[in-house]
Amino acid sequence: MTTGYLVLETGEIFNGEWIGDSQEVTGEVVFNTSMTGYQEMMTDPSYAGQILTFCYPLIGNYGLNDQDHESKKIAVSAVIVNDLCEEPSHYQSSRSFANQLKDEGIPGLKNIDTRELVSAIRKYHTVRGKIVNDIKGAVHFDDKKDSKDENFVDSVSVKKQETFENEGFHVVLMDFGYKKSILDALLNEQCRVTVVPYDTAIKDIQDMEPDGILLSNGPGDPMSMRAYFSTIKILTEQYPTLGICLGHQLIALAHGAKTKKMPFGHRGGNHPVKDIITGKVTITSQNHGYVVVEESINEGAFQVQFRNVNDGSLEGMSHRYLPIQSVQFHPEGHPGPSDTEYIFKQFIQQLAAGGKKTCGSVII
């Protein structure tokens, strides 16, 4: 095995062994606490530009299959694991973890002390790292190249619209880096879905005559999308709208709120979230490094609907008069396993109401 190194910009060095491609890579080092779902994580476009550390110590034991990709290719820049299973066992498995990385040209390191690495990330908060072949010379970080304003969304969004036929309501899915599970959830509700690039013009969307709009998840700093805030505001005022993760943040920003970088984000499958209106707590899947600043929301227009039980951060909001709802978590992620599936059903109810604000099944 070839020795490789993860060097943090704070000076820490972690020794490991190369897996996948052997190219050197730089990116923000993040961690996910989920015990399963490594295939879905690696292919989640929200991880674009990041080096993903798996907290669970054994990765690859059930291999990868042809059904569970969240996008057409691996989205992470690199992966960090502790113990890697080289011989997976599962009836759906079609390839190993390491082989998938190699086939797609994605580097990684195994046999890393991931507990020590996660401790360093929690200590320093946002931290960049570089995977290198040797550490004989100084490892430099290019501040300009690694700018937080880099438009990762453009690298993962579709380049032309795609339509998925169905018999129900027509939903335009604005793609900032959407997960296939979001599309599947809409199709399961019998929606006809048109996936469009994030920079699609308002007139083009209007010409599609949608019943509603869904703003997807995606990677990077939401402020890198500032050029599209006015478009998002107009669309949300014209159509029933659901925002998920980055889509939630973009709706908030478009309506005058602010976002901020979190210390080390929420990435995992067991985050408890409380519905402020009903008092019910649900278990959610999350993957985000930014959060909407609750104090910056226009309380005359929006009400806070969801709050994180662990740290009190804002997890979702709804408009007081318009059919607009947004959630920071992933209702399509199936933790619980279906605790927050109702988010999509509420969205469908608003489409059925013809754009009128709904409360449960009651039209206001």
Question: Is 338 strand, coil or helix?
Answer: coil
The closest alpha carbon to 30, from 116, 113, 129, belongs to 129
The reported pLDDT for the residue numbered 242 is 98
Output the DSSP codes for 208-239.
T--SEEEE---SS-GGGGGGGHHHHHHHHHHS
Active site residues: 245, 330, 332
- Which pair of structure tokens corresponds to residue 221? 């700093």
Mean pLDDT of the chain: 93
Positive/negative CA dihedral, 265, 268, 37, 157: negative
Q: How far apart are CA 235 and CA 251, in angstroms?
A: 10
pLDDT tens track for 156-172: 999 999 999 999 999 99
Q: What is the pLDDT of residue 354?
A: 79
Q: Is the dihedral of CA 164, 166, 170, 173 positive or negative?
A: negative
Task: Please name each of the domains of the chain with its CATH number.
Answer: 3-132 (3.50.30.20), 152-363 (3.40.50.880)
Strands 241-244 and 324-327: parallel
Q: Using CA atoms, how far apart are residues 245 and 292, in angstroms rounded to an integer? A: 10
Residue 358: predicted pLDDT: 47
Name residues whose C-beta falls within 8 Å of residue 137's C-beta, 6 or more positions apart in sequence.
Answer: none
Low-confidence residues of the chain, pLDDT below 70? 143-149, 355-364
Pair of tokens at residue 41: 């994580």
